[in-house]
Amino acid sequence: MGDHEQGALEEKLTEADQKIIEKIDKLSTAIDNQYEFNKAYNAKVDKSINLIQEGVRDAHLQNLIATCEQYIKRGYITSTELDVYQSRYKLYKELGGNGHMEPWDAKIKALPNEPPKKLNISIPNPPASHL
């Protein structure tokens, strides 16, 4: 191979190398753009998820308070109802509950697990009046 042929081959390799470098640069730019798009999209998704979670937590809180008021007014909570309540309370805490339920939780746990026994008191009939 002569010097002329060698020079032409090196020039072609250099052109090919330059095309490869340009394609790599384009791919790198496309990857960077996709990364930034995904980052922004994920931030929007995270915000939406947080808003949904807050809404679910707040609705759950209102429902828990209403349930607590019902049991407290009734004066007792059965063991099955307490199990269900505790599961729901745990979910509220996992959703990021801020401690608002703690006083209610203490009241619920202090309730007896059966209704109060009725006193069997009989009231005698008043005597018939003598006219």
Q: Which of 42, 131, 44, 57 is closest to 94 using CA atoms?
A: 57
Over residues 56-65, the pLDDT tens digits come to: 999 999 999 9
Alpha-carbon separation of residue 33 from 22, 25, 29, 90 (angstroms)? 16, 12, 6, 42
Predicted TM-score (pTM) of the model is: 0.62
| Helix or strand run (H / E) with residue 112 | none
* R_g over Cα of the chain: 38
Q: Which of 103, 31, 33, 24 is closest to 61 using CA atoms?
A: 103
Over residues 46-87, the pLDDT tens digits come to: 999 999 999 999 999 999 999 999 999 999 999 999 999 999
